[in-house]
Amino acid sequence: MIIEGAKYRTFLNRKFENRKKWYIPDPKKIISYIPGTVVKLFVHEGQQVVKGDVILILEAMKMKNRIVFSRSGKVKAVNVVEGDKVPKNFLMVELE
């Protein structure tokens, strides 16, 4: 591989081939990026929300994290209730 005139030697290995593929996150789907417990839920199905509204509070590693909407819309589905323990990458809330 040549970058800005410098030649580099690279290797394609199994670790690289077996890595988890990256995908563009869907802004309509609110997923948990860390495992935790839903402490407080502020939305319900059919509710109109605006960018910046707090969806829920997720407690993880003794910290309470406010999860907010990155866009406006209508709540299509809420897959959690207060007290739920959610794993990493769990779909918590979905917008239409």
Task: Identify the structural domains of the chain with CATH numbers, from first to last.
Answer: 25-95 (2.40.50.100)
Dihedrals phi, psi of 17, to nearest 5 degrees: -65, -30
* pTM, entire model: 0.74
Residue 72 Rama label (left phi>0; alpha psi -120 to 50; beta): beta
Q: Report the candidate in 35, 30, 55 with the shortest Cα–Cα distance to residue 44.
A: 55
Round to whole Å and give the CA distance between 24 and 26: 6
Q: Which helix (H) or strand (E) holds 17?
A: helix 14-17
pLDDT in tens, the chain (96 residues): 788 999 988 888 888 888 888 888 888 999 998 999 999 999 999 999 999 999 999 999 999 999 999 999 999 999 999 999 999 999 999 999
Q: What is the pLDDT of residues 49-60, one digit of tens each?
A: 999 999 999 999
